[in-house]
A and B are shown apart, each in its own frame.
Chain A
Amino acid sequence: MSSHQQGKKQRSRADWILLFVGLVIGSAFGFWATPTILYAEKAQPLQFNHKLHLEQVSDSCKSCHTLREDGSFSGIPSVQSCKECHEAGSPMGDGANEAAFLEYVKKNQPIPWLVYSRQPDCVFFSHAAHTANAGFECAKCHGDHGQTTKLRPYEYNRLTGYSRDIWGKGPIGLSGPPHRMKMDDCAKCHSENGVNRACFVCHK
């Protein structure tokens, strides 16, 4: 009898406000806490100013990130390419960062960059198909990375180890890197442009 009465009880305005405030606090905590728990941050081994370098070179991104003759993509340039301009013992900039960089140059040692756009191992991606063939600008997928003055921290998923850039912005677009590179994104563009969507086109 009492439960029947409770069911019929009119909710007061304070009840609704309490519910709303609870929802807001809960969601805010969820949207803030979930990415914080899920993603860990790592600093890049060195800082790099893309904007500054882009002003110095003649052939935009392609000056350093090249397609090789066999069609493969060189990715991040080797220290050997840096040495075309930088010499050990003659810093072009100031500070600890330049000194640390010249140590790599001196030892001819690869810099352990953390690649924001590194895809999982099962993914095949052809830069030749998207740039040389389809004529895309680098910025179409990589955003304004070439205009940045410093490297943001590398965020990776604690469970999978994949870079957060693959996932892109959070569900309501509040946090995370601006560009996403998920299978859905690849598939969407492929179907919109009538490109082959067979499994092996993107999977290996």
Chain B
Amino acid sequence: MVIDLDKCTGCGACSVACMSENNIGVLHNETDKIRSITWMRVYQIDNGKAFPDTEVAFIPRPCMHCQGGKSGTPGQAFFQEGPMDEAAHPPCVSVCPATATDYDEDTGIVSQIPTRCIGCRYCVAACPYHARYFNWYDVPWPKGSPRALSPFVSPRMRGVVEKCTFCFQRYQAARNKAMVSGGEVGEMDYQTACTEACPSGAITFGQLQNPEHKVHKLISSDYTFRLLERLHTNPKVYYMSKREWVRKMADNYVTRHNKFAQAAAQSGH
């Protein structure tokens, strides 16, 4: 997935589409952002300058589906960087004591079984992107509304962890169709709900390794970057921006030194 931050207006349509697609309920108190669930969350950053130089960017954040430095060949699964033994795992998978989550080598998606989850929340703590959410409450579905839920995604119960699945049910449906018709799953057969919902077309979805897919071309651009790249999580969500300060904010260049320098510059205003 590639997200163009210069196109993102921060409208939140991706978040809404995601909640609707994946049966994510609305809790009693959605203002409690520590306990609410948003698989696709839109963060806001600004360049720290006073008006009229203020610039704002929004960072939609799904699960990054990190590969870590896991060994593998580019043909089998998505693999961009050389194996790094010191970080050879997606952060959330190796900490799971219940084997309720794993890394799918075929699709490159971090998959999970919510019904197997014991709710220890190690993975929530391990994820550097805060992409995993714990169900603190049972969703207070209004009377009759469960009938409007998607039958292709099982609603989760209180006490388990959940996260973005890259709309895997859509991949399953596309795969089924391909198997019956004898074709292959094409680029447009499998698109996530957030990609389809984005009104400005900021999100592009496809196979990063397939040279015929748009995302493959996009990630070779000079303007693409990933979040917290120095952690070697090897995420599959790329961002792009032509604004340098946005790219710097994505951590790759944030050192202790210029973090303090930035803070000092801000306090000067």
Contacts and interface: CB of A to CB of B under 8 A. Distances in A.
A147 to B, nearest CB: 26
A71 B154 CA distance: 20
Nearest to A133: B179
Nearest to B112: A199
Interface string A52-75: 000000000000000111111000
Contacts of A115: none
Interface stretch (A78-86, A89-97, A119-127): A119-127
Contact of B172 (A120, A121, A126, A133): A126
A64 to B, nearest CB: 17
Contacts of B178: 71
A204 B152 contact: yes
A203 B173 contact: no
A129 B180 CA distance: 9
Interface string A192-203: 000010111101
B151 to A, nearest CB: 8
B111 A199 contact: yes
Contacts of A204: 152-154, 168-169, 172
Nearest to A124: B172
A122 B113 contact: yes
B180 A67 contact: yes
A21 interface: no
Nearest to A203: B113
Interface residues of B, number: 31
A199 B173 contact: no
A126 B112 contact: no
A126, A133, A203 — most chain B CB neighbours (10 Å)? A203
Specify the main secondary structure of chain A where it touches its partner: loop
A126 B155 CA distance: 19
A132 interface: yes
Contacts of B168: 200, 204
B179 A132 contact: yes
B49 to A, nearest CB: 44
A180 B154 CA distance: 22
B106, B111, B114, B176 — most chain A CB neighbours (10 Å)? B176
B266 interface: no
Given A196-B104, A199-B100, A203-B115, A122 B154 contact: yes
Contacts of A71: 173, 175-181
A198 B111 contact: yes
Interface string A25-67: 0000000000000000000000000000000000000000001
Contacts of A199: 100-102, 104, 111-113, 116
Contact of B177 (A70, A121, A201, A203): A70
Given A198-B102, A198-B111, A203-B111, 18 more contacts: A68-B180, A70-B177, A71-B176, A71-B180, A120-B115, A121-B154, A122-B154, A126-B175, A128-B176, A198-B104, A198-B105, A198-B107, A199-B111, A199-B112, A199-B113, A199-B116, A200-B107, A200-B112
Closest 4 CB pairs of A and B: A71-B176, A198-B104, A200-B111, A71-B177
15 contacts: A70-B176, A71-B173, A71-B176, A71-B178, A71-B181, A121-B154, A124-B172, A126-B175, A126-B179, A198-B104, A198-B106, A199-B112, A203-B113, A203-B115, A204-B168
